[in-house]
A and B are shown apart, each in its own frame.
Chain A
Amino acid sequence: MSEKELGRKWDRCLADTAVKLGAGLGLGIVFSVVFFKRRTWPISFGLGYGLGMAYSNCQHDFRSPYLLHGHVVKEQ
């Protein structure tokens, strides 16, 4: 069902956002704890990094039908 496609996409998007945010958060915490003396900036950096990645993934997912793929035609 084509109308369910969007919904699925949003689901994936949200799932992905959650995952990426979690992962970002995790890594941020890890890095902040491990490397950066428990500063918050690596957490927000990680969250942002996660969110950004999720956003980009989401966008790409939503754009995917419209993306044109070019092909290189070798000259003969």
Chain B
Amino acid sequence: DTITRFPGTCSLTLFVVFRATAGKLVGAGLLFMGGGLGGTILYAKWDPKFRANVEKSVPYSEQLFQMTLGPPASPAPLPKKAVSAPRHREYINTECVECKHEAPSAVKERPAEEVAVRLALQDQAEQDVLASLSTTLEEALGRTAKVTLQAVEAQDAAVQAICTHTQKLKEAMEDSEVSSDQKSTQWSALESALKERSKCVDNAADALQKARSELENLRGVIAAAKKSSVPGARAHILAAEENLHRMSVDLDNKVSKVQSAQTEAKIISQYSELVREAKTQFQKELNSITPDIQGGWKGLTGKLTADDLNSLIAHAHRRIDQLNRELAEQRVREQLRIETALEQQRLEDKKALDGAVAAALERRREEVRLEQERKVEEVREVMEAEMRTQLRRQAAAHTDHLRDVLKVQEQELRAEAQESLNRKLVEQETEFRRMNQQQINAFTQDVNTAFARLKGMEDAIDSHAVAEEEARRAHQLWLAVEALGYTLKTAAAEAPTEPLAGAVQAIRDSCGENEFAQALATALPEESLQRGVYSEASLRARFYSIRKLARRVAMIDETRNSLYQYFLSYLQSVLLFEPEQVAPPAKLSPDDMDTFKLLSYATYCIEHGDLELAAKFVNQLRGESRRVAQDWLKEARLTLETRQIVSLLSAYANAVGLGTTQAP
């Protein structure tokens, strides 16, 4: 309902604002606050953090939220740590299983059989891996060796071909005196040799490429084998590496040989080119001078004319001059060129040296590394063996230690057991004694209680007897008192009761040693004992005559007592009208002391049965009225006294009777 209320309150507030009176403003304010509260509650329901904030800052908001929204949702505990822990442990497990001999602290020690099984499995796996590795390595090695051999052979063949070619070329260049047929055969042979060379070189290059790729493969395989890090395969790996290294070295050597042969061939070919060029140049020159001489010019000495010879000689001289000049120039430049060439050669030498040094260093490094690895492998083997012996020794020590500890523990446990047995025995004995004592105590207690009960019963019976005696006596007393009370009722209309002496005597007899009753019995007035008392009714009747008389002599007292006063008093009584009965007030005032008033009060009291109060009022009479009422007063007093005592006695007898009454 807060959802529906919120827009309602907004619109209502707006509406109210436009007709703002005080009451409406107050109402609007209240609605606004209610809306705010509803909104807060809604938002707290949606966002628990906001709810927590509000609960912290506002004092009683907790209770409010509890009432409206219910208890706040508790945040779910993050299970990440629990998830990562087993994974980590898993990792530790796999790692440590490989260690084979250690039991890590984070994981509880596995039982021996499981470890053995796992070890066996691990060994098996290792063996398999080893076998596979070795097979792959061997395959790769074989392949690579074959290919490398092929490459090496191809390189050799190429070298050979290059050598033959250069040889042939050299021969072709040098043997220029040979006949043209031989020359042509030489040239054809040269060409074939060239072709052979190119083919061999190509073959060599291909083979080299293949060998190189195979070597790379082998290297990759070796790296993979190394990565798998199975210890038994190290020897294989080492051997494979050595083979690889050797093959690559051979290949490099062969390649270098081929390269040197090729450079030599290049030199020779360059030389041949130069020579050919010079020859053609010379031939061209010669043709330019003597166009019709062609072929070999050795056989032409007969055909040449003197001009031709001269020109030829001149040309030859010119050529010789030129050549001499060139030679001189060359000689001059030779030094420079030689120096530059030397420099270049030095640089190249240095480069070649560096390259060779680097290659040799590399090779050396490789060899050293291989050596190191081999040594490491050996050392590892040795260490493994040593570790095994140490572990065996440790295991033996451990078993000894265990045996000792077990012995000690056995003794301790034995002692402990003995001690606990003794303790239990002692406990049992004390328990037994305690139970015994307890039984005796219980028995004694029972006997005591029985005795006490017996005593109690005796006492009870005695007290019963006593109480019954008491009760009997009380009953007697009561009866006597009842008798006394009954005698009071024997008063006739005008005659007094019977004398109470007999009843009182009976009381005195029945109450015996009871002081109270005795006192009361003696407190009775003699008159009542001897003569008896008048009943209330008779007193009542007598009172009216008294009243009349007292009214008549109301004025007579010590000072006024002449006969004339008597007459006046009589006249007053006749003429004065007052109500016969007037309820007496709670407190008497002095003007209540008038005879007539007093008599009215007394009449009222008499009529209402209150003899005592009537007697009191009558006692207030003064003068002749008093003298007239004297006897009546005395009788009333007697009656009242007797009645009081009798009622006391009867109450006392009742009390005693109640006291001695026993509950059924």
CB of A62 closer than 8 Å to a CB of B: yes
Asked if A70 CB lies within 8 Å of chain B CBs, one says: no
With contacts A2-B632, A6-B549, A6-B553 taken as known, whether A63 is within 8 angstroms of B627 at the C-beta atoms is no
The complex places the Cα of A1 from the Cα of B629 at a distance, in Å, of 9
Give the complex CA separation of A66 and B560 in angstroms: 10
Interface size on A, residues (CB 8 A): 12
Complex Cα–Cα for A3 and B627 (A):
8
A54 to B: closest C-beta gap in Å: 10
Question: Which of B549, B558, B562, B566 is within 8 Å of A3, CB to CB?
Answer: B549
B44 interface residue per 8 A CB criterion: no
Interface of B is mostly: helix
A5 at the interface (CB under 8 A from B): yes
A59 contacts across to B, CB distance below 8 A: 561-563
A58 beta carbon closer than 8 Å to chain B: yes
Q: Is the interface of A mostly helix, strand, loop or mixed?
A: helix
Residue pair B629, A2 in contact (C-beta under 8 Å) = yes
Residue of B557, B563, B631 with most partner-chain A CB within 10 A: B563
Chain B residue nearest to A65 in the complex (CB) = B627
**CB-based nearest A residue for B630:** A2
B69 to A: closest C-beta gap in Å: 100
Q: Say yes or no: B627 contacts A2, CB within 8 Å.
A: yes
Q: Establish whether residues A55 and B631, one from each chain, have CB atoms under 8 Å apart when the complex forms.
A: no
Q: How many residues of B contact A (CB 8 A)?
A: 19
**Residues of A1-38 contacting chain B, CB below 8 A:** 1-3, 5-6
Asked if B145 lies at the interface with its beta carbon under 8 angstroms from chain A, I say no
Q: Which residues of B contact A6 (CB under 8 A)?
A: 549, 553, 624, 628
Residue of A nearest to B634 (CB): A2
Q: Mark B557-586, 1 if CB is under 8 A from A, else 0.
A: 110011100100000000000000000000
B628 and A62 contact, CB distance less than 8 A = no
Distance from B632 Cβ to chain A, minimum over Cβ atoms (Å): 7
Contact A66 B558 (CB under 8 A): yes
What are 9 A-B residue pairs whose CB atoms fall within 8 Å in the complex? A3-B542, A3-B628, A59-B563, A62-B562, A62-B563, A62-B566, A63-B561, A63-B562, A66-B557
In the complex, besides A2-B628, A62-B562, 20 extra interface pairs with C-beta distance below 8 angstroms are A1-B631, A2-B627, A2-B630, A2-B632, A3-B542, A3-B628, A3-B631, A5-B627, A5-B628, A6-B553, A6-B624, A6-B628, A55-B563, A59-B563, A62-B561, A63-B562, A65-B627, A66-B557, A66-B558, A66-B561
Q: Which residues of A contact B (CB under 8 A)?
A: 1-3, 5-6, 55, 58-59, 62-63, 65-66
